[in-house]
Amino acid sequence: MQVRKARLQDATNVYDLVNSLSGDGTLLKRSFPEICENIRDFTVAESDAGVFLGCGALHFYGPHLCEVRSIVVKPEAKGQGAGGRILGALIDEAEEHGIQSVCLFTRIPDFFFKFGFRTVEDKSELPDKIFKDCQNCPRLHRCDEVAMVRGRIPRISILGPRHEAQELVRITG
Ligand SMILES: CC(C)(COP(=O)(O)OP(=O)(O)OC[C@H]1O[C@@H](n2cnc3c(N)ncnc32)[C@H](O)[C@@H]1OP(=O)(O)O)[C@@H](O)C(=O)NCCC(=O)NCCS
């Protein structure tokens, strides 16, 4: 198995796998153009024979925060270490970029506990994530996901009308 950054040629596999689990809300639905536009966020796992096994993405909010998104392994490849290796690669990538807070929303916190994530009781402590995804989510008022963070919870946010310019100046100096 190898784990590597995605190429545009992976977009169809990524699209098919991610959307196979978007119907029940396990993963956020992603359109094909959105996958292509953000393909450089993705890391993929493939077998030694080059067969696509799974993927995950690291979305940058800014120097203060990034998010693990769309992490999924094909059903027939589960339990062989691919998901853990993809997540490890995304954590390494965050560290390479000097980002100390990695967040995610999930229904399977136990998987992420193994990799140093902890539960965030109050989702409003991650306002960038709320602004990006939650405010337009049909499950906004009946969310069944657990918010998690690895590293410290950022004290700033940059999305949303009030914060944007002011906070960008603060963090970039
Ligand atoms: C979650 C998922 C990516 C894990 O991928 P995987 O390749 O099966 O995981 P790995 O084989 O690398 O497992 C790594 C470790 O996590 C554990 N683990 C795997 N899935 C788990 C789960 N659902 N809950 C708790 N622990 C889990 C494994 O037992 C293993 O632990 P160990 O190191 O102590 O043996 C995969 O099950 C999946 O695609 N699930 C559906 C999509 C999904 O729910 N994604 C998360 C959205 S936030």
Q: What is the pLDDT of residues 135-156, one digit of tens each?
A: 878 888 888 999 999 999 998 8
- In the chain the domains, ranked by start, together with CATH numbers, are 2-172 (3.40.630.30)
Expressed in angstroms and rounded, the spacing between residue 111 Cα and the centre of ligand 1 is 5
**Residue corresponding to tokens 């995304």:** 90
Q: Which residues line ligand 1 (CB under 6 A)?
A: 21, 26-27, 71-73, 78-84, 104, 106, 108, 110-111, 114
Closest by Cα among 25, 170, 167, 6 to 108:
25
Question: Which residue puts its alpha carbon closest to atom 16 of ligand 1?
Answer: 111
155 CB-near residues (< 8 Å, 6+ apart): none
pLDDT of residue 171: 52
- The tokens for 4 are 């590597």
Question: Which residue puts its alpha carbon closest to atom 18 of ligand 1?
Answer: 111
pLDDT > 60? residue 29: yes
Q: What does the pLDDT look like over 44-98, one tens digit per residue?
A: 999 999 999 999 999 999 999 999 999 999 999 999 999 999 999 999 999 999 9
Distance CA 90, CA 100 (A): 13
pTM of the complete model: 0.93
Q: Are 62 and 102 in contact (CB under 8 A)?
A: no
Q: Letter for the amino acid at 70?
A: S
Which ligand 1 atom sits closest to the C-alpha of 79?
Answer: 11
Closest by Cα among 109, 37, 36 to 68:
109
pLDDT of residue 173: 42
Residue ranges of the alpha helices (H) in 40-173? 82-96, 109-113, 127-132, 164-172
Closest by Cα among 19, 18, 25, 57 to 144:
25
Segment 87-110 shows an average pLDDT of: 97
Closest by Cα among 95, 114, 82, 98 to 17:
82
- The tokens for 130 are 């709320």
Question: Which residue puts its alpha carbon closest to atom 40 of ligand 1?
Answer: 72
Which ligand 1 atom sits closest to the C-alpha of 107?
Answer: 48
pLDDT > 60? residue 167: no
68, 102, 111, 144: which to mutate for ligand 1, most atoms within 8 A of CB? 111
Expressed in angstroms and rounded, the spacing between residue 161 Cα and the centre of ligand 1 is 37
